[in-house]
Structure formats: C-alpha cells, structure tokens
Amino acid sequence: MIQLLLDELSALILRHHEAAESWGALPRLHVSCSEQPALSYSQVCEPMFALVAQGSSAVMLGQRRIGCSAGQYLVVPVDLPLTAYVTQADSHRPFLGVGFRLDPAAIAALILESDPAAPAASHVPPGLAVSPLSQDLIEPLIRLLKLADRPRDIPILGPAIERELLWRLMTGEQGAIVRQIGLADGRFTQLSRVIRWIRSNFDRKLRIAELAGIAGMSVTSFHRHFLRVTSLTPLQFQKQIRLQEARTRLSSGALSAEEVCYSVGYSSPSQFSREYRRLFGRPPGVDRRSHGIGAI
C-alpha cells in the first residue's frame, strides 16, 4: 500500500515540479526533482518536514551525515545550517522529494485544541532523525499536490489539508519533535531564540554565558541541549553560519575572497580558506574566480 501511494505521489511531483514556484497559495510546499546525483543546496534550513518519494538523499549537519531514502522522512526542528545532497537519481528514475515548511503558530494552535494541559517534555528530542512514512502522512500530501490541478480549490481546501498534515506529524513517530516546535516554553523555542541571535550576529565573538541567558538556561544545561538539538557546539554552529554567508557573498561578486573573509568575522584568511574548503569541498577562490577578483 505504501509503495502504491509513493508511486502516486511521485507522479504528482513529476507533473507539477516545474510549475511549483508559482503556487502562491501553497507557499509552505516545495517539490524537488533531479535526474542526477548532485549537491542541492547549502543553507540555513527553517523548521520543515521533508520526505523522499523516489531515489535517495543525504544532509550534512557539521560532521554528521543523515541519509534519507524513498519512503522515509525527517523533521528539521529549528533553523539549522544544512548541506543537502541527492545521492541516488538518474534520467529513468529521478530523485523526487517534498518539503513542507512548519509553522510554529499552527502547531501551537493544534496543541491547544488537542491537549492544552499537557506539560512540556522534560527531555529534548534529537535534532534530526529519519522515520518511515506512514499512509496517514502520504495521503494528505497527495491531496495537497492534487490541488495544483484545481487552483481555485487551494484557498478553501488547502488550509484544512495542511492542518491535517500537521496533526499526522504531531501524532506520528516524530510527534515529540513536532510538538516541541509549537511549545512557547519548549526547549526548541528557547534554543531558537539563541539561533536567531547567532544568525543576526554571526560576525561577533560569542559569549556562552550571554547565549545561555538568551535561552533562559544555565550554561551547563544550554551546552547540553544545544548540542543535542543541533549536533554542534555554539561555536561550530556560528562557523557554519559564517561560511554559508561567505559563500553567498562570494557569489554576489561585490567583494574579493579576502574581503569576504573579514566581513563574516574571520581574522585569518588561511583559516577561512581551510574551513571553507572543508565544508564545501573547494577553496573560496574557486567560487570567486569567475568574477575576476582576488582569491585566497
């Protein structure tokens, strides 16, 4: 049964992926199609639910690699600096995936309606985990994608289907993670405040006591929870943000590689070049060279 549903979902992705960017009434939904293994993106990913309908992919979070094959899904609970790869695809069986951005307010509303007295979990679920897709999750996604054939129905039926999808996620294998996203006093919400601060101040020197204060935790508790959710220390997280911002600035063509190095908070061009190569597989000068300005 699951395979039949995946086949139906795959057919819908193939039919609609080229027009997906114009789905203004379904802004949370994104579909992917790739006919060859490739680096897809390296960026800060907002909270989302992502699944593979056909082929396989992997994401890197720091030095941790998480693979996701057809019939599996993962939940990104907080803003995380991820590098995603398509690992299995060809012209006969392309990689097909779906992403759905999670709205903390919508999750919070469902929590209030279903069990408002439930206390926040005392433990913090791990930040990224892969689970098998269930029929309950695939069916609303199929109905959501079918709305692309009937755009007039999207504003009426879309919100109800999205709400059902969130509920299935909340009551599924990764429900504890999804619920934490919507809890105002949950650990993910506390850590999200810190992550937003780091993203806005990535070029500043971090003070762990200050970050713990933003999270409303002790330093020891903050370290433990931050590492569990992001798989990175705060300094490692900041480094990932700096390097991804550097890549964006290099591609803009406005600055040289050395200028980008200093603009994102590095004081050593050699360290910047070394860490950039480690994350992206090539030195910053290669990404910059086509613009004809100095490289490191």
pLDDT digits (tens, 9 = 90+) for 212-243: 999 999 999 999 999 988 999 999 999 999 99
The DSSP symbol for 21 reads G
Range of the domain at 41: 2-105+130-174
Residue 247 tokens read as 């890549």
Residue 296 lies in a domain: no
pTM (2 decimals)? Answer: 0.84
Classify residue 204 by its DSSP letter: S
pLDDT at position 32 over 50: yes
- Name the pLDDT band for 291 (thresholds 50, 70, 90): very low
Q: What CATH number does residue 50 fall under?
A: 2.60.120.10
240 and 170 housed in the same domain: no
> For residue 280, what is the domain's CATH number?
1.10.10.60
Could you give the percent of the chain with pLDDT greater than 90? 67
Q: What is the pLDDT of residue 294?
A: 41
pLDDT at 97: 96
Q: Please name the amino acid found at residue 172.
A: G
Could you tell me if 43 and 147 lie in one domain? yes
Cα distances (angstroms) measured from residue 30 to each of 36, 50, 231: 19, 9, 26
Q: pLDDT-based confidence at 121, cuts 50/70/90?
A: low
Same domain, 50 and 142: yes
Look-up of token digits 């509303």: 109
Looking at the fold, whether 22 and 136 belong to one and the same domain comes out as yes
Domain count of the chain?
2
Residue 69 lies in a domain: yes
218-220-225-228 Cα dihedral, nearest 10 degrees: 170
Give the single-character DSSP code of 237: H
Max CA separation in the chain (angstroms): 61
Let me know: does 70 contact 6? Beta carbons within 8 Å: yes
Domain boundary pick from 150, 174, 198:
174
Does 9 share its domain with 92? yes
Q: Are residues 259 and 134 part of one domain?
A: no
Question: What is the strand order of the sheet 48-54 is part of?
Answer: 29-34, 95-101, 48-54, 72-76, 130-132
Residue 117 lies in a domain: no
